[in-house]
Amino acid sequence: MLREKLPSPEPLPERYKKMVKNDVAENPIDRFDIFVPEVALDFEALGARTADVQPGVTLYGDISGFTKHIANLTTDDEKREALRAFHAARSEMHHVVVADYNGDFIQYQGDRIQGLFYEAKSSGRYASKSIEAAAALQDAFAICREVLPGFAKLGMACGAAAGRVFVTQVGIKGDRELLALGQSVARASQLQDEMGAGLTAINAKLWALLEKDLQERFKAIVGVEDAYMAHLCMDVIEALDAAKVYTGRVRIEGSPSVSARVVSAPTTGVQPTKSWCPVK
């Protein structure tokens, strides 16, 4: 058996045991205070405290098919090239979550990214931003398939769920790992695992938090309780945003010589002409 061929575990160095013992002594469990963040979390200053995010949206984006792709490589040169491409893809995923949609980066888990969206960080639209980030991840990966070697047959699968999330750190000073814990975190992971490339799944609580036009993009997953699924891309998101510009009726007031302006007129105005039909 494989287990019999594995080397025996080596004991931890005494210095490591001492560091852990000292850290436990300096940070007893009763010193861990839980707080509700009113501003964006500063992970460097989090220390032994635990943030209680109510609610938060956990988003997972996974490179579908990457593990099998790596297993099929045979030469060191192929593996090195795949590793460079992998880091480029992860960097782009990080940029989408953090820079483009103002989410928090929690951690990489192999070939997937874990992000967190909540009101104090991502604005009152945090739920919709998590969905927009999922769509942007799909678009970003479409570019990766075109430009990164070996990525042509890979894809992006996303899962997201809203719920109470505890954010904390574990480990010893100088070597701490950020964690986000909660039932919704596990649910987001499960939903992502069940999705194929190009798809995004969410739980019912997140669906209820979305703007109506985004809700309409999702369909309940047959046979799966508390889950919705959609095929998202930024073209869909941008079309939905543009459609909002044309809602309602308007009229022109004034004249060209006296600064004409467009004002809302729900009963007497006209609906602006559209050059396209919004996505249904």
> Tell me: the pLDDT tens digits for 143-194?
999 999 999 999 999 999 999 999 998 776 677 889 999 999 999 999 999 9
Write out the E strands in the chain: 34-35, 50-64, 104-109, 112-117, 155-172, 175-181, 200-203, 219-220, 227-230, 250-253, 261-264
Q: Mean pLDDT of all residues in the chain?
A: 86
More confident residue, 64 or 46: 64
State whether 49 and 131 are in the same domain: yes
pTM, rounded to two decimals: 0.78
The tokens for 155 are 């894809």
Whether 238 and 255 share a structural domain: no
* Together in a domain, 130 and 170: yes
Q: Is 149 within a domain? A: yes
The answer to whether residues 277 and 139 belong to one domain is no
Residue 5 lies in a domain: no
Which pLDDT band, with edges at 50, 70 and 90, does 248 fall under?
A: low
CA distance 254 to 135: 42
Kindly state whether residue 161 falls inside one of the protein's structural domains.
Answer: yes
Instruction: Give domain status of residue 90, yes or no.
Output: yes
CATH number of the CATH domain containing 198: 3.30.70.1230
What are the distances in angstroms from CA 277 to CA 85, 246, 260, 273, 274?
38, 11, 28, 10, 7
Q: Is the same domain home to 203 and 141?
A: yes
Q: Residue 256: which domain range?
A: 248-280
The rounded radius of gyration (Å) of the Cα atoms in the chain is 24
Give me the mean pLDDT over the 5-9 stretch.
72
What total of structural domains would you count in the chain? 2
Task: Kindly state the average pLDDT of the residues 93-117.
Answer: 97
Please state, in angstroms and as integers, the Cα–Cα distance from residue 278 to each residue in 46, 92, 239, 246, following that order.
Answer: 44, 29, 6, 10
Residue 241 lies in a domain: yes
Domain shared by 113 and 205, yes or no: yes
Percent of the residues in the chain that have a pLDDT greater than 70, as a whole number: 81
- Check whether 249 has a pLDDT greater than 80: no
Q: Which of 11-25, 200-214, 240-254 has the highest mean pLDDT?
A: 200-214
> For strand 155-172 and strand 104-109, is the pairing parallel, antiparallel, or unpaired?
unpaired
Q: Tell me: the pLDDT tens digits for 15-32?
A: 878 887 887 777 666 666
Q: Do 127 and 179 lie in a common domain?
A: yes
Per-residue model confidence (pLDDT) at position 278 = 42
Residues 105 and 200 in one domain: yes
- For residue 166, give the nearest of 106, 240, 239, 99 by alpha carbon: 106
Indicate whether 163 and 278 sit together in one domain. Answer: no
Higher pLDDT, 239 or 276: 239
Higher pLDDT, 20 or 53: 53
Residue 105 lies in a domain: yes
Asked if 150 and 271 sit in the same domain, the reply is no
Q: Please give the pLDDT value at position 157.
A: 97
140 and 119 assigned to the same domain: yes
CA-to-CA dists, residue 81 to 74, 151, 155, 274, angstroms = 12, 11, 18, 47
User: Same structural domain for residues 273 and 145?
Assistant: no
